[in-house]
Amino acid sequence: MYLLDTNIILEILLDQDHAEEAVMLLENAPDGSLFISDFSLHSIGVVLFSRKLQNTYLEIVRDLFKNLGVTLTTVEPIYYDEIIRASSLYNLDFDDAYQYAAAEINHLTIISFDGDFNRTAHGRKTPKEVL
């Protein structure tokens, strides 16, 4: 079970260097194995709206949840101390600490291109490592 970091989806949408690898992950992951945090979903919206790509945002949301079977997860406010702990312990900024807390609470492995997760107890996997 895996938590998709924001950059996995943005790689595809912005046609960046690792887009093909990210697409392969989404197309080949076992059903029910991929999760995305509400924070990532909103962050993707911020990026796409700033580029006037509102319809693209709606398409990716529909695609993630309807066609690819990705599951939405969150960090409930009663667990926000986990965000603070992750930030302090591993020197993570808010978005990475949130992702780390979401993964820890839900027993998920983070899939990311962000090397900051390498400082954490559970690290991260790249899409290539999962495939």
Q: Which residues of 61-80 are buried (b: 16+ CB within 10 A; e: fewer)?
A: beebeeeeebeebebeeeee
d(CA 70, CA 12): 16
Q: Yes or no: say if 39 and 103 are a contact pair by the CB < 8 Å rule.
A: no
pLDDT of residue 40: 98
pLDDT of residue 21: 96
- State the CB neighbour count (10 A cutoff) for residue 6: 23
pLDDT of residue 95: 96
pLDDT of residue 47: 97
d(CA 28, CA 23): 8
The series of mean pLDDT values per 10 residues for the chain, 131 residues long, is 97 94 95 96 97 96 95 98 98 98 98 97 95 88
The matching CATH number, chosen from 3.40.50.1010, 3.20.20.70, 3.90.230.10, 3.40.50.300, for 2-121 is 3.40.50.1010
pLDDT of residue 17: 94
pLDDT of residue 88: 98
Sequence ranges of the domains in the chain: 2-121
Residues sharing a CB contact under 8 Å with residue 120, sequence separation 6 or more, in sequence order = 86, 90, 92, 100
Q: How much is the pTM?
A: 0.95
pLDDT of residue 71: 98
